[in-house]
């Protein structure tokens, strides 16, 4: 039996020693890498979650933060910025608000990873509430009618329209204007389609973007020529 064991160990002993040394080298490299620490800096995106349909984020500052991390080399190398996204839950917000959050409170890093620095530390979120408002339509004119013509009546159909915008901005709007009608071109009574004027504070019109304008003209240019 001892002779067989001796023969087993001595046969191809050089190859066996080489294999053993290689195994020790690989183990040392892996073990060393696990104990080697490294640092990494990356940009991490900011995401908004559970925003109410009647709200919109009109300003988010910043849109990402600069994050510096420290940990074992093999663990740090596996980290991806998208997996560390800062997710801010707005499900409790129901109206226009200016909000501030500490970025660190919304960061979840793997165990064994240390946060060295975050820049900027504060996140500002400005949320606006959508609203609607029904307003009268005011017809705008430029130029003037030729003599002896007179504008007896000008009427918009419909004479009221509904606009959509941010609640804070709609409070200052009391009328919706039309695009200008050039009176220099008008010679007889008529009906024409005129676009509504969309200002910066009117995000959109709910039902229509134009109105029918009925113009009643008194007098005649033909009579004037005689």
CATH number, residue 50 = 2.170.120.30
Last residue of a domain, one of 84, 113, 130: 130
| 144 plus 183 within the same structural domain | yes
Residue 5: what pLDDT?
Answer: 47
Taking the CA atoms of residue 13, residue 15, residue 20 and residue 24 in that order, the dihedral angle to the nearest 10 degrees is: 140
Mean pLDDT of the chain: 87
Residue 29: what pLDDT?
Answer: 60
Q: Is residue 23 part of a domain?
A: no
Q: Is residue 213 part of a domain?
A: yes
**What average pLDDT does this structure show over 135-150?**
94
| 154 plus 212 within the same structural domain | yes
Residue 111: what pLDDT?
Answer: 86
| 158 plus 193 within the same structural domain | yes
Q: Does pLDDT of 9 surpass 60?
A: no
Residue 19: what pLDDT?
Answer: 63
Residues 25-41, buried b or exposed e (16+ Cβ, 10 A)? eeeeeeeeeeeeeeeee
Distance between CA atoms of 68 and 104, rounded to whole angstroms? 12
List, for residues 65-109, the tens digit of each pLDDT value. 999 999 888 888 888 988 889 999 999 999 999 999 999 999 888
Name the residue range of residue 149's domain: 139-225
Q: What pLDDT band is residue 7 in, cutting at 50, 70 and 90?
A: low
Question: Which of the pair, 203 or 2, is modelled with greater confidence?
Answer: 203
| 49 plus 126 within the same structural domain | yes
| 105 plus 162 within the same structural domain | no
For residue 189, give both structure tokens. Answer: 């009574």
Q: What CATH number does residue 164 fall under?
A: 2.170.120
Last residue of a domain, one of 99, 130, 161: 130
Q: What is the pTM of this model?
A: 0.68
List, for residues 160-204, the tens digit of each pLDDT value. 999 999 999 998 999 999 999 999 999 999 999 999 999 999 999
For residue 126, give both structure tokens. Answer: 């400005």
Q: Name which of 164, 171, 167, 176 is nearest 136 in CA terms.
A: 176
| 111 plus 191 within the same structural domain | no
The total number of structural domains that make up the chain: 2
Last residue of a domain, one of 100, 130, 160: 130
Name the DSSP class of 178: B
């Amino acid at each position: 039996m001892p002779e067989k064991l001796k023969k087993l160990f001595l046969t191809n002993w050089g190859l066996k020693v080489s294999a053993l040394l290689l195994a020790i080298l690989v183990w040392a490299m892996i073990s060393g890498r696990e104990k080697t620490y490294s640092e990494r800096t990356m940009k991490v995106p900011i995401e908004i979650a559970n925003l109410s349909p009647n709200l919109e984020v009109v300003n988010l500052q910043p849109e990402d933060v600069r994050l510096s991390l420290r940990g074992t080399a093999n663990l740090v190398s596996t980290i991806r910025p998208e997996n560390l996204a800062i997710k801010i839950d707005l499900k409790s917000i129901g109206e226009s608000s200016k909000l501030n959050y500490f970025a660190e409170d919304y960061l979840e890093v793997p165990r064994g990873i240390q946060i060295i620095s975050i820049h900027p530390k504060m996140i500002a979120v400005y949320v606006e509430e959508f609203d609607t408002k029904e307003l009268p339509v005011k017809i705008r004119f430029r130029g003037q009618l030729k003599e002896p013509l007179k504008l007896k009546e000008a009427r918009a159909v419909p004479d009221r329209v509904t606009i959509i915008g941010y609640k804070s901005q709609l409070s200052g709007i009391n009328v919706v204007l039309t695009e200008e009608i050039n009176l220099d071109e008008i010679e007889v009574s008529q009906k024409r389609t005129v676009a509504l004027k969309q200002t910066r504070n009117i995000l959109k019109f709910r039902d229509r973007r134009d109105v029918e304008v009925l113009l009643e003209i008194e007098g005649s240019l033909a009579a004037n020529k005689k």
